[in-house]
Amino acid sequence: MLNSSFTPEQKRELFMKAYNDNKEKVDARIEQGIEQNRKGEGKIQFIDSCGKPLANKKVKLTQKTHDFKYGANIFLLDEFKSEADNAEYRRMFKEYFNLATVPFYWDTLEPKENKPRYAADSPKVYRRPAPDLCLDYCNQSGIDAKLHCLVYEHFVPEWLKKRPLEQIKAKYEERFKQISERYAGKLMEFEVINELLCYWNESAMSRHKDILEWSFDLARKYFPDETLVINEGSLLCDIAAKDYKNPYYMMIENTLLKGSTIDKIGIQNHMFVGANRTTDEGYDASIKEHAHMTNPLSVFKGLDILSEFNLPLEITEVTFATLGDSEEDEDLQADILKLMYSVWFSHPAIDTVVYWNTVDGYTYDSGNGWNENNCIGGLFHHDLTPKKSALMLKKLFNELWHTECELTTDENGCVSFRGFYGNYDALCDGKTAEFGLHKESDKNYILKI
């Protein structure tokens, strides 16, 4: 493990200074944004089986789910050596998240040509559980699932890499068609292309001039009714720094001007402190390099810039480094999570945030100078016990951003309330009914008890 020479106080100063210097302004925007964008007014009339209003009755409203999606990748599903750990991961995931990113990396989904690993009982590949296994779990657990991803030139099969462009295009079309026939209508959204600006140069497709437009046009052909997402490693603070000259902004703008359709814009937020470092001195330098990522004013500015496309935004991959193994380091990770999730949750364009690697010690290691385990960026310890950051995430969505209230019906059997968008239980006169408070639907309900 790499060690920093910074004290806990110095690390906190580095990562929380921008917020502390602008606390009043930031807190005001967060509070106002959450109130305006995540909550709505509802009115419910309670009637009995004969249609008579239930007047002067005590009512308890309890939020059961969030419309806002907060998830994580599900790469460790049934990947542990111990069955007890596998069972705990399955229990933990549905307790803390309502969305799962399912791996469709081509190199591990089809390591042998024409022998894809879709089925739940497919041969194991570490950190790449079969899609059917993931979807079975999600369906049983009431969790939405998303596909990651159709085109990602960093992870293409070895058997494909050296082929000419036209043959590669034909194989991509075959891949899209297969996935569409098997999974269309079964996932919340489909990430079409990932990290194009990283330019991995794995095959001739990487150098294809119109790879972005071609990918989205092909995806629209096979997924006409699905939400199609672009995903990129560009950071919001970097977008803020370069404004409309940021490469990601210009890439999206160019693609839309050419007539291709993008339904949703994905932005990553990896605080990969130390991932490519091997010395303590390098680790300290990496800490300094990442401190700007927690500047809430820059994050807000980056979101405001991207939101001008009038498309929903998603924080697709999140890592918050722990910066050490002390209690103070865990406190700081939890505070960073609270700040950044609050900023994202308050912004009108964001509808989804996905944490990436949830358990320390099981993250991506290239074996060639890149090791995300150095970041200690999970929400859970190696033994699957929750870190303070996991408990903070749970507190945000289950307590702070949660509606539960007791009311009394008027003479017409009605109550009015303001709550977070989601599905609810209503308890009245000893009986329970379900209803939903959603942003784009009618807010008036009649519940027969």
pLDDT mean by block of 10 residues, the chain; 449 residues: 95 98 98 98 96 97 98 98 98 98 98 98 98 98 98 96 97 98 98 91 92 98 98 95 96 98 98 97 97 98 98 98 97 98 98 98 94 97 98 98 98 97 96 95 87
Cα 73 to chain centroid, rounded: 8
Give the per-residue pLDDT at 121: 98
pTM for the complete prediction?
0.97
Give the per-residue pLDDT at 449: 87
Map tokens 């009043």 to a residue. 24
Cα 368 to chain centroid, rounded: 27
From the list 71, 113, 1, 27, the residue with the least C-alpha distance to 342 is: 27
Give the per-residue pLDDT at 441: 86
Q: Give the whole-angstrom CA distance, residue 251 versus residue 246.
A: 9
- Per residue in 44-75, pLDDT (tens digit) is 999 999 999 999 999 999 999 999 999 999 99
Q: Which CATH class is domain 40-66+401-449?
A: mainly beta
Q: Which residues of 39-78 are buried (b: 16+ CB within 10 A; e: fewer)?
A: bbebebbbbeeeeebbeebebebebeebbbbbbbbbbbbb
Q: DSSP code of 187?
A: S
Q: Give the whole-angstrom CA distance, residue 373 versus residue 229.
A: 28
Helix (H) or strand (E) holding 355: strand 350-355
Are 194 and 234 in contact by the 8 Å Cβ rule? The answer is no
- Per residue in 124-181, pLDDT (tens digit) is 999 999 999 999 999 999 999 999 999 999 999 999 999 999 999 999 999 999 999 9
- Domain residue spans in the chain? 40-66+401-449, 69-389
Map tokens 């997924």 to a residue. 223
Give the per-residue pLDDT at 396: 98
Architecture of domain 69-389: Alpha-Beta Barrel (3.20)
Are 98 and 393 in contact by the 8 Å Cβ rule? The answer is no
